[in-house]
Chains A and B, each alone.
Chain A
Amino acid sequence: MAALLRGLRAGRLLRGLPSVVAAPASTNQQCSSLRRSFHCAALRLQDESKSDKSSASSSSSSSSSTTHHEHYQAHSSHQDTEAASQQDPDPNSSDREQDEEYETEEQLQAQILAAALEFVPLYGWSMEAIAAGAESLGLSSASTGMFPNGSGDLVLHFISQCNSKLTEILAEQHNQVQLGQAERKKTADFLRDAVETRLRMYIPYIETWPQAMSILLLPHNIPDSLKHLSTMVDDIWYYAGDRSTDMNWYTKRAVLTGLYNTTELVMLQDSSPDFKDTWAFLDNRIQDVVNMATTAKQMQSTGEAVAQGLMGAAVTLKNLTGLNQKR
């Protein structure tokens, strides 16, 4: 008899299932909604079996005059209200559980890549690192299927993470200067510090960084890597105080890109303690740029002086030869 009741309840459950599935099926996240609905169904079945046990005990204690059918009706209404009240908290609780892990596929991918970074020194920038990262999160290593451009995704994710960290640091320094708690740095010093901070983020992965750079040079990765590079250079110049709106915008960014790339290459084959040769190279290059800018300015003022001198000479000649007279 109890088995019959359980069977009837399971049937009602299965009838309720399509409605749960049909409602969220209109959204794009069918997999997650199906998972959630199965989760709900599993919870409900669990609860029903629990209440089934309690009902069995209560039915034995209640008077035997109530027919099983009536008891079933009363119990089904009780179950309905229970299920109805549980249907609302159930999706929420399962949502809350899943919210702690991820909300969108992108967040899950970001989590897997972040976990994979720990395995990069061991496996290099490769699918193995991503698989190890997925396994360390408790997911199957088949999650690498989410990354068709595996090693490229990993390197680009790391680079964008470094850029965000750099932007945070620069914004914090900017706030300190605004609040008057810190002195404004000179442009050359600011650039040197910004490039040094950014390159220091590569130090933990410096052994495998040549592999990462070659991955970034693959044709399908070039657009993304150029975009990351250009946004980083733009951020550094913005916080250095550059507000130019003419060709200087382009020349400044080109100069900083050259600085950054050459220093990165020097860093790869630097074996001095704490990379002090690299920072010395960076200092020298920045000094070169400053010298060039000063020379350009001096040349411009010299040129203007020379032009004025020539004009003066021409006017004097005209006066001497009498061509400048008004008739």
Chain B
Amino acid sequence: MHRAAHTALCDWPQFVRPAMIRQSLRCTGSLQTSSRAYSVIPPPRDREEEEMMHRMLRVDHAGEYGANRIYAGQMAVLGRSRTGPLIQQMWDQEKKHLAKFNEILAENRVRPTALLPLWNLAGFALGASTALLGKEGAMACTVAVEESISEHYNSQIRALMESDPERYTELLQMIKEFRDDEMDHHDTGLEHDAESLPGYWLLKNAIQLGCKAAIYVSQRV
């Protein structure tokens, strides 16, 4: 009994040291591959969850990319007007969102949607054409797009909460933060006379229909 305890005390470094070395190697490896020591997305449990997660990230990335291009189109037309700084400010926030999604996609090896060139052209065209209607047109476009995006983020938050809130805490926090930013843009658009555009209701619904179609397609392709 005494000898057993003695050997146990002497032997435990033999077991702990290799495990510690392995652990430290793993830690340095992961720290070097990502700039943060944690990841927003939990490692997938199975194929199904991986598919679901990748689809979500793909469509969110496409959405932020499209929003980016819309603001770029608006700036191309209204950049030197009075609303230029306002649009620039909203655009900078979207750039931050896109950078974050780029990081997540690269880390988790998610395939980006193949329709990105289409969203590039369509987004820029939408932003530029609504900006040609004047400041109210640009604001109306902003209101419509941001409302669609917020609705989309809300449905994703609902889906994640329904499946497993604890598992997706960081992801939920990130999506909630982005959704709040988009709602801010929506409110800013309303504040700056979006509704005073003639044909506002028609334009808004047309844009929202287009956004819904874009989301549907980006999830699948």
Shortest CB distance B151–A (Å): 24
Contact B28 A178 (CB under 8 A): yes
Within 8 A of A (CB), among B18-71: 25, 28-29, 32-33, 61
Is there an interface contact between A249 and B111, defined as CB atoms closer than 8 Å?
A: yes
Given contacts A243-B106, A245-B105, contact A175 B116 (CB under 8 A): no
A175 touches which of B29, B106, B114 (Cβ 8 Å): B29
Interface check A70, CB cutoff 8 A? no
- Closest residue of chain A to B32 (Cβ to Cβ) is A178
Contact (Cβ within 8 A) A250 B114: yes
- Neighbour of A246 across the interface among B33, B109, B112, CB < 8 A: B112
Cβ of B199 within 8 Å of any chain A Cβ, yes or no, is no
Q: Report yes or no: A178 in contact with B29, Cβ–Cβ below 8 A.
A: yes
Of the residues B33, B109, B112, contact of A234 by C-beta under 8 Å: B109
B102 within 8 A of A: yes
Across-interface contacts of B101 in A (CB, < 8 A): 245
Q: How far is the CA of A250 from the CA of B114 in the complex (A)?
A: 8
Interface residue tally for chain B (C-beta within 8 Å): 16
A238 interface contact, C-beta 8 A: yes
Q: Which residues of B contact A178 (CB under 8 A)?
A: 28-29, 32-33
CB B137 to nearest CB in A, in angstroms, measures 26
Chain A residues with CB under 8 Å of B106's CB are: 243-245
Q: A247 — which chain B residues lie within 8 A by C-beta?
A: 116-117
Interface string of A300-312 (1 = CB under 8 A from B): 0000000000000
Task: Return the chain B residue nearest A235 by Cβ.
Answer: B109
**Chain B residues near A249 (CB-CB < 8 A):** 111-112
Chain B residues closer than 8 Å to A234, beta-carbon distance:
109
Residues on B with C-beta less than 8 A from A175 are 29
* Bound form: Cα–Cα A247–B102 in Å: 13
Compute the total of residue contacts between A and B using a CB distance below 8 Å: 25
CA distance A245 to B105 in the complex (A): 7
Chain A 172-212 interface 0/1 with B at a Cβ cutoff of 8 Å (1 = within):
00010011000000000000000000000000000000000
Distance in angstroms between the alpha carbons of A175 and B112 in the assembled complex: 26
| Contact count band on A | 10 to 19
0/1 string, A5-16, CB within 8 A of B gives 1: 000000000000
Interface residues in B134-152 by Cβ distance below 8 A to A read none
- Distance (Å) between the CB of B91 and the closest chain A CB? 18
Min Cβ gap A237→B in Å is: 10
A247 to B111, CA, bound (A): 10
Contact B117 A238 (CB under 8 A): no
What's the nearest-Cβ distance from chain A to residue B122, in Å?
15
CB distance from B61 to the nearest CB of A (A): 7
Return the chain A residue nearest B65 by Cβ: A246
- What residues on A are CB-neighbors of B109 within 8 Å? 234, 238
Contact with A along B87-128 (1 / 0, CB 8 A): 000000000000001100110010110101100000000000
**Minimum Cβ distance to chain B for residue A173 (Å):** 13
Provide the residues of chain A in CB contact with B29, threshold 8 Å. Answer: 175, 178-179
Set of chain A residues within 8 Å of B102, measured between Cβ atoms: 245
Task: Give chain A interface residues in 240-271, CB to chain B under 8 Å.
Answer: 243-247, 249-250
Q: B61: nearest residue on chain A (CB-CB)?
A: A245
Q: Considering the chains assembled together, what is the distance between the CA atoms of A246 and B112 in angstroms?
A: 6
When C-beta atoms are compared, the residue in chain B nearest to A246 turns out to be B116
What residue of chain B has the Cβ atom nearest to residue A175's Cβ? B29
Residues of A within 8 A of B114 (CB): 250
Chain A, 215-252, contact with B by CB distance < 8 Å: what is the 0/1 string?
00000000000000000001000100001111101100
Instruction: Tell me the nearest residue of chain B to A177, going by C-beta.
Output: B32
**Which residues of B sit under 8 angstroms from A179, Cβ to Cβ?**
25, 28-29
Q: B168 → chain A, closest Cβ, in Å?
A: 21
From residue A247, how far is it (CB to closest CB) to chain B in Å? 6
Q: Report the nearest B residue to A248, measured CB to CB.
A: B112
Question: Within residues 64 to 110 of chain A, which ones have a CB less than 8 A from any CB in chain B?
Answer: none
9 further A-B pairs in the complex, CB-CB below 8 A; given A179-B25, A245-B112: A178-B28, A178-B33, A245-B61, A246-B112, A246-B116, A247-B116, A247-B117, A249-B111, A250-B114
- By a beta-carbon cutoff of 8 Å, the part of chain A in contact with chain B is 175, 178-179, 234, 238, 243-247, 249-250
* Sample (6) of A-B pairs whose CB atoms are under 8 Å apart: A178-B32, A238-B109, A244-B106, A245-B101, A245-B102, A246-B116
Closest 7 CB pairs between A and B?
Answer: A243-B106, A245-B105, A245-B102, A245-B112, A178-B29, A178-B32, A249-B112
